[in-house]
Amino acid sequence: MLHELLTSNRTRATPFTSRVEACGVQAYTVYNHMLLPAVFRGLEEDYWHLCEAVQLWDVSCQRQVEITGQDSQKLVQLMTPRDISQTDVGQCLYAPLCDENGYMINDPILIKHSQNHWWLSIADTDVLLWAKGLATGFGFDVRIHEPDIWPLAVQGPKAEELCVRVFGEEISNIGFFRGKWMKYGAASFFIARSGWSKQGGFEIYLNEFSLGEKLWDDFFEKGKDLDVGPGCPNLIERIESGLLSFGADATYETTPFECGLEQYVSLEADIESLSINALRKQKPKTRLVGLVVNEKIELADRSVLDEKDVIGEITANTWSPRYSVYLVYARCDANRILALTELNLKSTKGLVKARITDIPFNFVTLGLSNQS
Amino acid sequence: MLHELLTSNRTRATPFTSRVEACGVQAYTVYNHMLLPAVFRGLEEDYWHLCEAVQLWDVSCQRQVEITGQDSQKLVQLMTPRDISQTDVGQCLYAPLCDENGYMINDPILIKHSQNHWWLSIADTDVLLWAKGLATGFGFDVRIHEPDIWPLAVQGPKAEELCVRVFGEEISNIGFFRGKWMKYGAASFFIARSGWSKQGGFEIYLNEFSLGEKLWDDFFEKGKDLDVGPGCPNLIERIESGLLSFGADATYETTPFECGLEQYVSLEADIESLSINALRKQKPKTRLVGLVVNEKIELADRSVLDEKDVIGEITANTWSPRYSVYLVYARCDANRILALTELNLKSTKGLVKARITDIPFNFVTLGLSNQS
């Protein structure tokens, strides 16, 4: 849904905002109190371009919570049920943060610069306050703040070629979910092979506001023949790829197990984590499932039904132009969904059957071609 | 500035959203992960209507952080440097929340339902996480959550008359910044004489989503002759009235003293507050001042200068149609502003002199008539 957005000093602009506007951004959303571009040429056109070329994403709103000091790793481990003890310097870890009852606070990427220096690259909640509150209460020896860092994501199949042109061959040596500091003129940015799409690419952690426009322009100049363009996290691509959005698909009321994030909970590890004991005992009440409908529908509302009762709610949905199916994430009653293989959605033309499947969607298992 | 806003399940709708849209909302902002209407008929038209009639404001985004349990008051006191020990049941207190260095976290209204039951009616940061982090770390016996409550503000000189028609004469007995539970059919809402304007009125803490549309319609039906209309926090009115917006005028980098909030810091009281010792010692580095220009200007940028150097930044600004002056809030270097009586702003036509004054503006002292 599109409405007008009134911006102010409270909804912060970024080092790239002037360029994003010059590129004709059509819509924004607000994320971590900051502008996040949401549409450029159109949802579907942006999607195809992302999957075929290379895009620059102003994801400055992916704020960093920086934790330094001798209790840093202890605090980070306390916040997440994922075992971080084996993390290498420069490694990036996707990790749910949970409270003492196992409920999620956020799902950041943890970046280890050293034992005593971590960044939490966060989704849309004020993790800064959670970390500071815990550190103050427990009396940890840490310093926690939000540094002036504005990530720029370079995403798409041609992202690597473009980044090599801007940063040199060495960038190709960065492994998946690994990062390192690279020179850019007199500056030095942390760059990781990561990003909120499955099209490949890097995230550049810009640390000088004044270099934002130069960096943006540099990518455009060197990427003309690669069809570089502006972009942003894309609803179609992220649902096809099985990525979750905190605040929609995962919330304060859900545990990692209820979001299909089992692999990021180290149940067997001997770790000092706030949530681990609760998560060891807890039986999921809800389950996030994928639903597939073989036609383009218009939803009448967000409810999900078994034969007659509402047993869940849609958290995200999109038409997939690649697979020609309608894809839905739905949060359902974990018990009532157990024996079912399909559910009903309410379309404007009446009830529509939807196949239940896992997230991420497995389009091969679903018998769907990968070609448009 | 207006742009398109892309809404999603993450930017939550409210019980009043359907009515807000039916009333022709022109723009939203996003506040506490929720839609906040920002313009209806136009900033200036909305302003005059607010000052002359009565408006319904969907301020559902003013989320409640509910704290219950035997350590509730202890935790609330820990979070704020304002002495809360003499607070009555049903009393509302404006109170800065600060960290152990005296820097602000938020500036909520604290509402005391009992010693062991508080609401924090918050500005735009996740106080829930700060409170939970502290409580977990200190091991307090409290339960903290965000209940399903969506405030509706009724603001304007005719607000009381309208509220009497909807809730009965008894509502007139509620004192300023006091509240009580009042019946609405089978439901019961907490209602306080408060709101983010100086035009008078009430805030109704709706606690049943399904009653939102009925309540809205009820106000409209009973207020036709009072010219009731839709509204929202208004930039012109709030600046004229000296109200601060957290995230713009006050931030994580400012102390209450640096925001002119001295009266809400109980320096002399014997209280267990995280920030009180830091605030007792600290010398303000910046100061938030009011600036007045005797003509309508268009800003070239947000910088504020003494004779030649940039010594501050504009945090909020508006043309005042009532006083025919341009009003600015600016954060300035506390030392460099000491001996000054005027500063320079950069307008599109060059430097413009601005008189330095306090916030709230005193229009009588400024020699400005209160009449348009």
Question: Residues of B with CB below 8 A from A132's CB?
Answer: 99, 130, 133
B277 CB-near residues (< 8 Å, 6+ apart): none
| Gap from B95 CA to chain A (nearest CA, Å) | 18
Torsion of CA B107, B50, B317, B120, to 10 degrees: 10
Residues A133 and A158 in one domain: no
Domain termination residue (choose one: B205, B224, B239)? B239
- The ipTM assigned to this model is 0.94
Computed over every residue of chain B, the mean pLDDT equals 96
Residue A156 domain flag:
yes
B5/A27 Cβ within 8 A: yes
Amino acid occupying residue B356: I
Residue A22 contacts B where some CB pair is shorter than 8 Å: no
Q: Which residues of B touch A278 (CB under 8 A)?
A: none
Strands B97-98 and B27-31 come out as unpaired
Residue type at position A62: Q
Would residue B185 count as lying in a domain? yes
Specify if A335 maps to a domain: yes
The answer for residues whose C-beta is within 8 angstroms of residue A10's C-beta and 6 or more apart is A33, B29, B124, B245, B246, B247, B248
Best probe of the B interface among A2, A7, A9, by most B CBs < 10 A, is: A9
CB contact under 8 A, A133 and B130: yes
- Residue given tokens 């408060």 in the structure block: B194
Structure tokens at A23: 């590129």
Portion 103-132 of A in contact with B at CB < 8 A: 105, 124-132
Chain B residues close to A139, C-beta within 8 Å: 137
Neighboring chain B residues of A235 at a CB cutoff of 8 Å: 8
Residue of B nearest to A135 (CA): B137
Give the pLDDT score at B324.
95
CA distance to partner chain B, nearest, from residue A42 (Å): 12
B39 contacts in chain A (CB < 8 Å): 4, 6
Segment B4-51, tens digit of pLDDT: 888 888 888 899 999 999 999 999 999 999 999 999 999 999 999 999
Across the interface, whether the CB atoms of B29 and A11 are under 8 A apart is answered yes
Quick one: which of B303, B290, B286 has its CA closest to B351? B303
Tell me how many domains chain A contains.
Answer: 3
The reply to whether A303 and A202 lie within a common domain is no
Task: Inform me whether the C-beta atom of residue B329 falls under 8 Å from chain A C-beta atoms.
Answer: no
- Distance of alpha carbon A249 from alpha carbon A234, whole angstroms: 15
pLDDT in the model for residue A370: 60
Interface of B with A in 275-314 (CB under 8 A): 302, 314
Closest chain B residue by Cα to residue A129:
B130
| A106: nearest CA partner in chain B | B129
In percent, the amount of chain B with pLDDT more than 70 equals 98
Is there a contact between A130 and B129 if contact means CB atoms under 8 Å apart?
A: yes
Which of A3, A127, A244, A274 best tests the B interface by mutation, with the highest count of B CBs <10 A? Answer: A3
How confident is the model over B314-360, as pLDDT tens digits?
999 999 999 999 999 999 999 999 999 999 999 999 999 999 999 99
Q: Tell how strand A228-231 and strand A201-206 pair up.
A: unpaired
Percentage of residues of chain B with pLDDT beyond 90: 94
For the entire predicted model, the pTM comes to 0.95
Chain B residues within 8 A of A134 when measuring between CB atoms: 133-134, 136-137
DSSP sequence for A206-231: E--GGGHHHHHHHHHHHTGGGTEEEE
How far is the C-alpha of A258 from the C-alpha of A276, rounded, in Å? 15
Region class of A350: left (phi > 0), else alpha (psi between -120 and 50), else beta? left
Closest by Cβ to B105, choosing from A129, A135, A314:
A129
pLDDT of residue B8: 83
Residues A349 and A296 in one domain: yes
Among the three residues A76, A111, A145, which one is the final residue of a domain in this structure? A145
pLDDT of the residue at A7: 81
Give the integer Cα–Cα distance in Å for B160 and B181. Answer: 16
CATH of the domain at B204: 3.30.1360.120
Burial call B103-135: b when 16+ CB within 10 Å, e when fewer: bbbbbbbbbbbeeeebbbbbbbbbbbbbbbbbb
Q: Per the domain annotation, does A12 fall within a domain?
A: no
Q: Does A146 touch chain B (CB under 8 A)?
A: yes
Q: Which of B10, B31, B106 to mutate to test the interface with A (most CBs of A within 10 A)?
A: B10
Comparing CA positions, the residue from A351, A333, A326, A355 lying closest to residue A342 is: A355
Q: Is A155 part of any domain? A: yes
pLDDT band at B58 (very low <50, low <70, confident <90, very high): very high
Angle between helices B127-138 and A127-138 (to 10 degrees): 20
pLDDT, position B1: 58
Q: Please tell me whether residues A228 and A164 are part of one structural domain.
A: yes
Is A278 within a domain?
no
B28 vs A: CB within 8 A: yes
Q: Which of B17, B132, B314 to mutate to test the interface with A (most CBs of A within 10 A)?
A: B132
CB pairs under 8 A between A and B: 168
Whether pLDDT at B372 is above 50: no
> Does residue B25 form part of some domain?
yes
Please name the residues between 58 and 97 in chain B that touch chain A, using a CB distance below 8 Å: none
Pair B276, B85: CB distance under 8 Å: no
Question: Measured between CB atoms, does B29 come within 8 Å of chain A?
Answer: yes
Does the beta carbon of A8 lie under 8 angstroms from any beta carbon of chain B?
yes
| B230 and B99 part of one domain | no
Q: Which of residues 230-259 of A touch B (CB under 8 A)?
A: 235, 245-248, 252
Q: Is the minimum CB–CB distance between B188 and chain A shorter than 8 Å?
A: no
Q: What is the mean pLDDT of each run of 10 residues along chain A (372 residues)?
A: 78 92 94 95 97 98 98 98 98 98 98 98 98 98 97 98 98 98 97 97 98 98 98 97 97 98 97 98 96 96 96 97 97 96 97 96 84 50
Pick the residue from chain B with its C-alpha nearest to A137.
Answer: B137
Q: How far apart are CA A233 and CA A227, in angstroms?
A: 18
Which of B215, B239, B263 represents a domain boundary (last residue)? B239
Same domain as B228, residue B80: no
> Is residue A94 domain-shared with residue A203, that is, in the same domain?
no
- Mean pLDDT for all residues in chain A: 96
**CA end-to-end distance (rounded Å), chain A:** 26
Residue B91, exposed/middle/buried by CB under 10 A (0-12, 13-18, 19+)? middle
C-beta atoms of B136 and A134 within 8 A = yes
B372/B369 Cα distance (integer angstroms): 8
Q: Which residues of B touch A304 (CB under 8 A)?
A: none
**Does one domain contain both B128 and B49?**
no
Identity (one letter) of the amino acid at B144? I
CATH number at residue A140: 3.30.70.1400
Residue of B nearest to A145 (CA): B252
Domain of residue B113, residue span: 64-145
- Chain A interface, best mutation among B2, B5, B196, by max A CB count within 10 A: B5
Tokens 């859900």, located at residue: A254
A144 lies within 8 A of chain B by CB:
no
Q: Where are the alpha helices (DSSP H) in chain A?
A: 17-22, 43-52, 72-79, 127-138, 159-167, 212-222, 235-240, 276-281
Strand order, beta sheet including B54-58? B179-184, B187-192, B201-206, B150-155, B54-58, B228-231
Nearest to A33 among B2, B39, B124 (CB): B124
Q: Do A211 and A290 fall into the same domain?
A: no
**In the 8-state DSSP scheme, what is residue A7?**
-
Q: Are residues A90 and A138 in the same domain?
A: yes
Chain B: give the shortest CA distance to residue A17, in Å.
12
Top residue of B2, B67, B105, B126 to mutate, by most chain A CBs within 10 Å, is B126
CA distances from B172 to A124, B4, B117, B163, B169 (A): 41, 41, 25, 9, 6
Question: Are A93 and A139 contained in the same domain?
Answer: yes
Q: Tell whether A156 and A223 lie within a shared domain.
A: yes
Residues of A within 8 A of B4 (CB-CB) are 2-5, 26-28, 39
Contact A247 B33 (CB under 8 A): yes
Closest CA to A332 of A372, A284, A295, A297: A284
pLDDT in tens, B158-198: 999 999 999 999 999 999 999 999 999 999 999 999 999 99
CB contact under 8 A, A129 and B124: no
In a domain, A80, yes or no: yes
**Contact residues for B334 (Cβ-Cβ < 8 A; gap 6+):** B258, B283, B284, B285, B286, B287
